[in-house]
Amino acid sequence: MIKQILIIIFAIVAFTAISTAQVTKEENLARTAHISVTGGEDAGPSYQPNHLIDGIKGVDGQGEWAIKTHIYFWGDRDYPTIKMSWKKVQTIGKLVFYDRPALNQHIGGGELTFSDGTRMQVFSIPNDGSPKAISFPPKKVSWIQFDPTDGDGDLIGLSEMEAYTKGDKASMIQYTKTTKPVDGDWVSWVDPNIETNRGRWFFCTPGSRPFGMMAAAPYTRNKNQGGGGYNYNATDVLGFGQLHCWVLSGIDFMPTTGGIDPTLGVEGRKSAIKHEKEIIQPGYQKLFLERYKTQVEMTCTERVSFYRMTYHEKAKADLLVSLGGRLGSVTMIGAECKQVSPTRIEGKIGTTDRMWGGPSLTWVFFVIDFDKPFNQLNGWKGMNRLTNISELAMPFAPDRTKVQFERSEFVKYILTTHPDEQAGFSAAYDVNAGDVLQMKIGVSLTSIENARNNLEQECPHWNFDQVKQDAHDDWNRWLGRIQVKGGTQDQKIKFYTDLWHVLLGRHKIEDVNGDYPTYFGGKTLSTGTLKVETVDKGADGKPMHHMYNSDALWLTMWNLNILWGLGWPEMLDQFTQSWMEYAKHGGMLPRGPGSGAYTKIMGGCPATSLFTCAYQKGLLKHVDPEKAFAQMKKDHLPGGMQGVTEFYDQNGWTPTKVGEPVQWAFEDWALAQMAKKLGKEEDYAHFMKRSAGWTNYYSPKYGLLMPKDKDGNLLSDNPLSGTGWMEANSWQGTFSISHGLLTLASLMGGKDSLIKKLNFAFEQAAPSDFVFGYRDGYVSYANEPGLSNAHVFNKAGAPWLSQYWVRRVQEQAYGGVTPNTGYGGHDEDQGQMGGVSALMAMGLFSVTGTCDIEPTYEITSPIFDEVKITLDPRYYSGKEFIIKTYHNSRENRYIQSARFNGVALNKNWFYHKEFAKGGILELWLGSKPNKQWGIEGSATK
Ligand SMILES: [Ca+2]
Ligand SMILES: [Ca+2]
Ligand SMILES: [Ca+2]
């Protein structure tokens, strides 16, 4: 004890001596600042804010500031704000942050705001308390605020903050992309690190092909929905998960050396990494595990992950494959596997405890091949280590998945590590420095035979570089469908990163031979047992289409439905086929299908917008429109997926809720458009009537749609409160009544009133970059509701305001290219914010989601000089569609004039059928709005 105290005293003296030495060189201006902290809960006298500037740094338990913060059940947390202020203006050119040295408490990064209004991002603050310096051109400021945005642990805090006048070159650049962008190589423009600080499980998966089943990726902190994903600010890799899907994950790999005890879980086997040694891009990742002196490379085919380990030291190597316990969004249970040859292991795992619902138990089957026979196979079950095994079976209690918890108890249970559920095996090798080991994991969701077949069909060889090249070429083909010229390097990086996310988050669930799983048949349509189905085969014996795992497709009429239709029309064709196949077994069009059954995440029947726009654009090539219509109609009636009440069916509105009914109304309108084209007048009349009932929500008092009770009384007197809305509020949601904007305008007193009101909303939201939490703020581009708002001016006769606000939203909410920024920092799911960002960058949109009988695109000013879309010859008669801009710049965001195929265009929109023929749209831009351009027919078409 005395020895420890002496060490601490020595440490304090030593560190004080260092800071004294710095004072003689340059004064640490933080020491004279006033420190204040807002938010969070006081953690006691040992952790007061003044410890941030007491000169004691990097000493565990001494001179630290820390705070208790609220952590939400899905893993997000409220962060405090730290402000350093001075009585007199100071010149500051460098800040140095020290995290608390405790490795289980970490502030990884955040945002700096200076009193002159400028802001900066801070990344990769070392977890161990070593200094993080940030230099910048000196600023004259009276205060500096730090808002952490990424942290881990129950008492997050910092050990010290310093401020100096002079910066240094070394800490001037905070973040650089790991690969250099090369013209024509679209993959090289993608930066997977962008906004990974939230660490969402399926957000950053380099080991994936477009829509492939396999989505391998290292994962870092176990936060955020029970699965950390890959977080740039984290300093340790915990393992490499193979599947990163909506409510589906499985098979956790970690190459270790030195006889790690696997029963200690991820904390016992994690390894430090340094980004300087890393390459991360679509289809390939290379990183170095510092602890194991092992370089890991990873690539993939559609259903196979492929690892190449290069060892830098002689060692006892163990390739650990964990098959039990929590991984990402599921818990792995009931694992079984066996060695079938000196280089092959086959088996299966059950997955359960899905945080957002779905089947209570689903299976993942796998075949793992090693390129060299292992010396020995070892394993673990619960806390027991097993040596020299040839098979492994975890006791599986069928009741395990039937336990019904209260929601809070359930979340607490699934986010707790249960050591008795751990299981896995490890393949043991003796390696020398320079030795290479390779491993492939083939997966299937239906059977071991199919996993074996997937592996053997897609990757029968050990040529890692070939697979890496194939993955690269595959991504290049997909990304290259839209090619841009001009813009800044960052804008181009962001654009291709957006496209990557648009093509990344959703995954195939069928095998090479077309088999796929369903779990229908239980009482709640999600408690069934595995039934293997197969998709129809064509004359060549090959599956006719794919089956997909996906989140809700909630409100994708404002992003994916438009963008996929432009660049990848087969995705609309594919999804409609896949969704009809689900309906065949489960009776409903899915909303967020998870590994072969429904999750019903979010609301409404989002399939309708997707099906309708595919039909109207002529992309419904394989589904019979009559059958699709009949299915949608069923889903729009009480008892169907849309979830409408009898009252809504009769009246077009429903008491207490407003967010969902506004969505239902749009879907009803879209379905009515399809009915009209199919000649179904009665259905047209019924759904048009329903789609018009939303006017009951209009409150003349607030000039917005507000929740009401059955007698029409307002249920809220605060339009920003979110009452009655789904992840939105009255300001964000009112203008999302896309099919009823003219009616909305007349309710508000005319188009000018609507324009004025919406413009006011954007002005209110601009200082916060149009980014808010689920219910706050006048406009939010950080989540799905209201993603059409900036384009509404185009429909209301003020296209110059769409041009203005689209550019600002694109830059402020989506322009970030750092690990902290890029998608609004809040709730990018599976490429929807990315989809809006890309559409804004291209200058195309469709407020009604191309669901009109004659679908149209509205025009704003692209950020690029040229956007070239290669048209898919299977769907479109034209070869390419080009958008060219002249005099484009950040300031020149206003369209002065336009030509469509050489002919003057005076309206702000054109037809999809014109796009399909190919052509060129030319836009002349200027710094002042031309209020005469684009007003012709803008709202009444
Ligand atoms: Ca301190
Ligand atoms: Ca720490
Ligand atoms: Ca969302």
pLDDT tens digits, 861-889 = 999 999 999 999 999 999 999 999 999 99
Distance 42 CA to ligand 1 centre (A): 16
As a whole number of angstroms, the distance between CA 60 and CA 25 comes to: 27
Question: Could you tell me the distance, in angstroms and rounded to a whole number, from the CA of residue 52 to the centre of ligand 1?
Answer: 4
Find the 784 Cα to ligand 3 centroid distance in Å: 5
As a whole number, mean pLDDT of residues 399-409 equals 62
The residue-averaged pLDDT of 167-186 equals 91
- Closest ligand to 787 CA? 3
Res. 523: pLDDT tops 70 = no
Going from the Cα of 82 to the center of ligand 1, the distance in angstroms, rounded, reads: 14
Residue 526 confidence (pLDDT): 59
Q: What is the mean pLDDT of residues 884-899?
A: 98
Distance 274 CA to ligand 1 centre (A): 26
What is the torsion angle, in degrees rounded to the nearest 10, for the CA atoms of residue 486, residue 491, residue 496 and residue 502? -130
Range in 329-333, 401-405, 433-437, 739-743 with the lowest mean pLDDT: 401-405
The stretch 831-849 carries a mean pLDDT of 98
Ligand found nearest the CA of 11: 1
Instruction: For residue 64, report the distance from its CA to the centre of ligand 1, in Å.
Output: 5
**For the residues 429-439, what does the mean pLDDT come to?**
98
Terminal-to-terminal C-alpha distance of the chain: 81
Distance 782 CA to ligand 3 centre (A): 8
- Long-range (24+ apart) CB contacts under 8 A made by 256-260 are 256/292, 256/317, 256/318, 256/319, 256/320, 256/426, 257/292, 257/293, 257/294, 257/311, 257/313, 257/315, 257/316, 257/317, 257/318, 257/431, 258/292, 258/315, 258/316, 259/316, 259/318, 260/318, 260/320
Distance, CA of 255 to CA of 294 (rounded, Å): 8
**Contact between residue 562 and residue 520 where contact means Cβ atoms under 8 Å apart:** no
Does position 20 have pLDDT exceeding 60, yes or no? no
Ligand nearest to the CA of 127: 2
Q: What is the pLDDT of residue 521?
A: 76
The pLDDT assigned to 528 comes to: 79
Higher per-residue pLDDT: 399 or 510: 510
DSSP-based three-state secondary structure for 724: coil
Q: Where do runs of H (alpha helix) occur along 778-931? A: 792-796, 799-812, 832-842, 912-916
Looking at residue 226, what is its pLDDT? 54
Asked whether residue 580 carries a pLDDT value surpassing 70, the answer given is yes
Ligand 3: distance of its center to the CA of 770 in Å?
Answer: 15
CA of 785 to the centre of ligand 3 (A): 8
The alpha carbon of 364 and the centre of ligand 3 are apart by a number of angstroms equal to 27
Q: Which residues of 97-115 are buried (b: 16+ CB within 10 A; e: fewer)?
A: bbbbbbbebbbbbbbbbbb
pTM for this prediction: 0.95
How close is the Cα of 102 to the center of ligand 2, in Å? 4
Averaged pLDDT for residues 370-392: 98
Q: Give the number of the ligand closest to the Cα of residue 551.
A: 3
* Crossing angle of helices 560-567 and 489-502, rounded to 10°: 100
Span from the CA of 728 to the centroid of ligand 3 (angstroms): 11
Q: Is the confidence at residue 7, as pLDDT, over 80?
A: no
8 alpha carbon – ligand 1 mean position (Å): 13
State residue 277's pLDDT score: 87
Helix (H, G, I), strand (E, B) or coil at 771: coil
Q: What is the model's pLDDT at position 522? A: 65
Structure tokens at 577: 């086929």
Ranges of H-type helices in 797-884: 799-812, 832-842
Half-sphere exposure of 190 (CA within 13 A, CB side): 30
Q: 475 pLDDT exceeds 70?
A: yes
pLDDT at residue 595, as a whole number = 82
Between residues 515 and 596, the one the model is more confident about: 515
* 267-284 per-residue burial string, b: 16 or more CB within 10 A, e: under 16: eebbbbbebeebebbbbb
Ligand nearest the Cα of residue 233 is 2
CA distances from 242 to 206, 207, 357 (A): 11, 8, 21
Q: Classify burial at 418, counting beta carbons within 10 Å of its beta carbon; exposed 0-12, middle 13-18, buried 19 or more.
A: middle
Identify which ligand lies nearest to the alpha carbon of 35.
1
Closest-approaching ligand to the CA atom of 786: 3
**Which ligand ends up closest to the CA of 833?**
3
Query: Taking residues 885-911, what's their average pLDDT?
Result: 98
Name the closest ligand to CA 151.
Answer: 2
Find the 758 Cα to ligand 2 centroid distance in Å. Answer: 45
**Whole-number Å distance between alpha carbons of 240 and 228:** 11
- What percentage of the chain reaches a pLDDT higher than 70? 94
CA of 20 to the centre of ligand 1 (A): 14
Portion of the chain with pLDDT greater than 90, in percent = 85
Residue that the structure tokens 């499980």 belong to: 201
Q: What pLDDT digit, counting tens, does each position of 23-47 carry?
A: 457 899 999 999 999 999 999 999 9
**pLDDT for residue 403:** 54
Lowest mean pLDDT, pick from 169-183, 493-507, 734-748: 169-183
Q: How confident is the model at residue 163 (pLDDT cuts 50, 70, 90)?
A: very high
For residue 461, count CB atoms less than 10 angstroms from its CB and return exposed for 0-12, middle for 13-18, buried for 19 or more.
Answer: exposed
Mean pLDDT of the chain: 93
CB count in 10 Å sphere of residue 491: 18
Kindly tell me if the per-residue pLDDT of 415 is higher than 80: no
Q: 423 C-alpha vs ligand 3 centroid, how far in Å?
A: 34
Cα–Cα distance for residue pair 432/736, rounded to 1 Å: 62
For the CA of 100, the nearest ligand: 2
Q: Which ligand is nearest to the CA of 52?
A: 1
Ligand at shortest distance from the CA of 64 = 1
CA 804 / ligand 1 centre spacing (Å): 46
Distance 90 CA to ligand 2 centre (A): 29
Distance in Å, CA 123 to ligand 2 centroid: 14
Whole-number Å distance, alpha carbon 187 to ligand 2 midpoint, is: 35
Q: What is the average per-residue pLDDT within 639-658?
A: 96
Distance 399 CA to ligand 3 centre (A): 33
CA 1 to ligand 2 center in whole angstroms: 23
* pLDDT, position 396: 75
Distance of CA 233 from the midpoint of ligand 2 (Å): 12
CA of 27 to the centre of ligand 1 (A): 16
- Least distant ligand from the CA of 246: 3
Using the mean position of ligand 2's atoms as its centre, give its distance from the Cα of residue 145 in Å.
21
**Residue of 424, 403, 422 lying closest to 413 (CA atoms):** 403
pLDDT over 70 at 392, yes or no: yes
Ligand whose nearest atom lies closest to the CA of 99: 2
In this prediction, residue 636 has a pLDDT band, given cuts at 50, 70 and 90, of very high
The answer on pLDDT for 940 being more than 50 is no
- Helix (H), strand (E) at residue 95: strand 81-99
Check residue 16 and give its pLDDT: 45
Residue 744 reports pLDDT greater than 60: yes
Cα of 61 vs centre of ligand 1, distance in Å, is: 10
The Å distance, Cα 15 to ligand 1 centre, comes to: 10
How many angstroms separate the CA atoms of 731 and 742, rounded? 17
Q: Which ligand lies nearest the alpha carbon of 61?
A: 1
Q: Which ligand is nearest to the CA of 553?
A: 3
Ligand closest to 781 (CA) is 3
> How many angstroms does the Cα of residue 51 sit away from the middle of ligand 1?
4
User: What mean pLDDT do residues 747-756 have?
Assistant: 98
Tell me how far the alpha carbon of residue 47 lies from the centroid of ligand 1, in angstroms.
Answer: 9
Give the ligand whose atoms come closest to the C-alpha of residue 97: 1
| Residues with Cβ within 8 Å of residue 211, at least 6 apart in sequence | 503, 506, 507, 508, 546, 548, 571
Q: What's the 434 CA to ligand 1 centre distance in angstroms?
A: 44
Model confidence over 194-213: pLDDT tens digits?
999 887 888 999 999 999 99
Among candidates 142, 387, 422, 371, which has minimal Cα distance to 263? 422
- Determine the pLDDT at residue 401: 60
Q: What is the mean pLDDT of residues 67-87?
A: 90
φ and ψ of 250, to 5 deg: 170, 155
Quick one: pLDDT at residue 531? 95
